[in-house]
Structure 1
Amino acid sequence: MINDTRLRESLAPRGNIEPGLQPGLDPGTPCAANGSSVYAALDLGTNNCRLLIACPSGESFRVVDSFSRIVRLGEGISTTGCISEAAMERAIAALSICRDKIQFRKARRLRLIATEACRAASNAQGFRDRVAAETGIRLEVIDRETEAALAVKGCAPLLDPHGHGAILFDIGGGSSELVRIERDPADRHAEPQIKAWMSIPLGVVTLAERFGGRDVTPEIYAAMVETVSGHVGPFAAEHGGDLAGMHLLGTSGTVTTLAGIHLNLMRYDRRRVDGIWINDAEISATIARLLSMSYRERADNNCISVERADLVLAGCAILDSIRQAFPLPRLRVADRGLREGMLVEMMREDGALRTA
């Protein structure tokens, strides 16, 4: 039986629940016939609330439930410094669904994190207290280094097994992380090593709020790219040398949306997007296509939708600044990231994954 003290801190008791017990959680309930455990990973970001529930399966895991909703928790923080009441209510509604799924699946190993919005907002502690009181979820605010490391763990399976490594980037709502990772191409089972990393306080929400995201002219777009480049440039100057055998590896709504547009999907399909390779010319053509669209055209596109229509070009500007700093010919798209990293980390800690 797994004895994890973090589990006891993750879901706060509610109502008449006996102290020390978690409502709806049964540590003895198996996920599958072989008695494997149920794990849950939740990521409350500046823009999205995402949940993944899975069971160990060989060297990886099998997903049994998931949830994703755009909540825009960080809306307005760049100007007010606070999480708004409306944003709190959206997030709590989404977190309540996550709690119900965790309880229904009887997950007994949890990690429930919050990122940039809860790092930056002056009222973040009050928001987290309210989340605990209303949903029973106690959020762990992780630092940017941990966020970068979890993204690496989640995306590592998509590294080119014949390559030397990648420049991994995670374009978030309130911050973006860049990581240089390298591996021994002679040993495809070798763990990738983080050689350098950085985090910038700019994401799709903060950049769109600063420059406007609905009506983006070429001049506004260029200003976005220049602003981000001011942050990325010094990192690239120090860690951008010797890129032979490297590729870009992107995890974010920006790159998955870009891939859906590139593939001309009528509706977003993770199975067709996760792991796809896009070359430099194809990225440029797709971004040019997005820049030529009106806000309404972007909102009506099923791969973008009204929820991302005012954010996608800010994300493209961040991507373009990264492409300029690291001129690599190929990008691999990852529809995975922090949640997968948390699951792998927990399962490895428990010895629940088979080693290669």
Structure 2
Amino acid sequence: MADFTPPERQREPAGKRRRGRKRAKSPSKSPPNRASGEKQDAKRTQTAAQPPSDWRRPPHNHGRQAYAAIDLGTNNCRLLIAKPSGENFVVIDAFSRVVRLGEGLAHSGKLSQVSMDRAVGALRICAEKLRRRNVHLARSVATEACRRASNGEDFIERVRQETGIVLDIISAQEEARLAVLGCHILLEDGIGPAMIFDIGGGSTELILIEPGGPVPRIVDWQSVPWGVVSLTETVGMDETDADIRAARYAEMRRIVSDSFADFAERIKDAQTPDLRLLGTSGTVTTLASLHLELPQYDRKAVDGLIVPAASMRDISDRLSSMSPDERRALPCIGQERADLVVAGCAILESILDIWPAPRLGVADRGIREGILRSLMSADAEGHDTQTALRRIKRSAS
């Protein structure tokens, strides 16, 4: 399936995209509301929810049918519903909620009852949206939290019974593939390999790609079990003492760098003078918002932005030295992200050490968009539910 462009605007070629030049502001007095920013993606739609992953309606008028993707991560539950539009697709509904499914997982090895209840509540909303939007074909995936938890399979069964949604616990490799499929169109033009990364709640994926053709070729990749939730819970952040905060940030940097050491050694020879880097995650979109000095999150301003790497390092350094209260006062961070963004900064800086590109591309898209592209492509080739889903799952193996 050909590359897509979001409905909000037609984007310029990658090499001509705007580059942000502003620096981040000092703390603002008005707390942000990131959720309101995320709702802008679905501004022209009504709120609603979803059914099983393998569910499909009769195969006719595919171009007019709606497709859906659910990504249940360690921190967030996200839904995207879209309809094909030529070579692209148009988003008709979206939903995002912080559920912190992996809260406490680093210490207990299990999903807690409270975190599972939060996730099921969000998935009920998704299930209803799928029904209301008359979704033709949907795929729902769960990532690192469910991969690691000893009760992950039990949780998947509970979700199926209570919401009708069949979650597919995907591998780290499939997670990386979907992230690339969903965001690679935003990569800057250039020569040679490029790096795409996805900082999640429970893991981080680094993917070396060779652009070319409708979908880039994955040359090498690595996933480590460090995301903003798992790293924060493992190392922690001090509430008051600046020296302890600095020491813990340094420990975060060390842990992530050590985890990626073998991968960093493998890709040394792939580096060229024209290094390109693209990130998809709440960390990079939040830092990009601070770079632009946005009063609240705005996807249209952030998705596709090119930011100097030095600016992202500078913002990371300042955030890591702030107290939680100071971070909460910053636009586009607020209560939900104040305790997790520092771990994201540590991961981002470690990635910039591994792949020292002068600029960083920012993507507010990834796994969900990758799922939608996979569904639409497989559905165009197959003519029954099982054929379409088998094609998707074969491409993941």
Give TM-score scaled by structure 1 length: 0.87
CA deviations 1:64-111 (Å, max 9, x no partner) are 000011100001111111100100110011001101111110111100
Distance 1:68 1:163, change over 3 A: farther
- Offset, 1:300: 2.8
1:290 aligns with 2:314: no
Pick which of 274-283 and 37-46 moved more: 274-283
Query: Does 2:60 align with 1:36?
Result: no
- Structure 1 residue runs without a partner (length 5+): 1-6, 12-21
- Which of the numbers 249, 255, 267 marks the counterpart of 2:284? 255
Q: Which string of whole-angstrom CA distances, capped at 9 and with x for unpartnered residues, describes residues 234-279 of structure 1?
A: 1011113232223111011111111011111100000000011111
Runs of 4+ in 1 over 6 A off after TM superposition: 28-31
- 1:8 and 1:68 map into 2 onto residues whose CA distance is 16
Residues 1:272 and 1:9: Cα distance change in structure 2 (over 3 Å): closer
Structure 2 counterpart SS, 1:108: strand
Matching residue of 1:346? 375
Cα drift, residue 301 of structure 1: 2.6
Give the secondary-structure state (helix, strand or coil) at the position aligned to 2:184. Answer: helix
Q: Give the alignment partner of residue 226 of structure 1, picking from 243, 246, 254.
A: 254
State the partner residue of 1:195: 219
CA 38–306 in structure 1, closer or farther in 2 if over 3 Å, else same: same
Moved more, 320-329 or 284-293: 284-293
Question: Which residue number corresponds to residue 168 of structure 2?
Answer: 140
Distance 2:116 2:288 in 1: 31
CA distances 1:292-330 after superposition (whole Å, capped 9, x unpaired)? 432012123331121111000001101111111111111
2:147 aligned with 1:119: yes
Partner of 2:233: 209
- Name the residue aligned to 2:266: 238
Secondary structure of 2:380's match?
Answer: coil
Count of aligned pairs between the two proteins: 327
1:351, CA displacement in angstroms?
2.6
- Amino acid in structure 2 at the alignment position of 1:59: E
Higher relative contact order at CA 8 Å, sep ≥6: structure 1 or structure 2? 2
Q: Which residue of 2 aligns with 1:318?
A: 347
Alignment partners' CA distance in 1, 2:221 and 2:59:
40
Identify which of 344, 355, 360 aligns with 1:331. Answer: 360
CA gap 1:319/1:159 in 2 versus in 1, 3 angstroms: same
Q: What is the root-mean-square deviation of aligned Cα atoms in Å?
A: 2.0
Gapped runs of 5+ residues in structure 2? 1-49, 382-397
**Contact 1:182–1:192 (8 Å) recurs in 2:** yes
Q: Is the 8 A contact 2:52 2:164 kept in 1?
A: no
1:125 is displaced (CA, Å) by 1.4
Taking only the aligned residue pairs, the percentage that are identical comes to 50
Tell which deviates more after alignment, 288-297 or 330-339.
Answer: 288-297
Alignment of 1:103 with 2:103, yes or no, is: no
Q: Which residue number corresponds to residue 77 of structure 2?
A: 49
What is the alpha-carbon distance in structure 2 between the residues aligned to residue 269 and residue 228 of structure 1? 29
How big is the shift at 1:288?
2.3
SS state of the match for residue 195, structure 2? strand
Change in CA separation of 1:214 and 1:158 when aligned onto 2, cut-off 3 Å: farther
Report the Cα distance in structure 1 between the residues aligned to 2:245 and 2:269, rounded to whole angstroms. 33
SS at match of 2:64: coil
Which residue of 84, 89, 102 corresponds with 1:74? 102
Give the 5 Å matches for 1:262-281.
262-281=291-310
Is the Cα contact below 8 Å between 2:57 and 2:137 reproduced in 1?
A: no
Matched, 1:10 2:53: yes
One-letter identity of the residue aligned with 1:173? G
| Match status 1:85 vs 2:113 | yes
Q: CA deviation at 1:45?
A: 0.4
1:159 aligns with 2:187: yes
Q: Retained in 2: the 8 A contact 1:254–1:316?
A: yes
- Aligned residues of 1:213 and 1:311 also touching (Cα < 8 A): no
The answer to whether the 8 Å contact 2:279/2:362 transfers is: yes
When the two structures are superposed, what TM-score results if normalisation uses the length of structure 2? 0.78
Contact 2:327 2:334 in 1 (8 A): yes
Partner Cα separation in structure 1 for residue 75 and residue 128 of structure 2: 21
Shift of 1:8: 9.2
State the 1:203 CA deviation: 0.8
CA separation in 2, counterparts of 1:214 and 1:348?
48
Q: Structure 1 CA distance, aligned partners of 2:159 and 2:214? A: 40
CA drift of 1:28 comes to 7.6
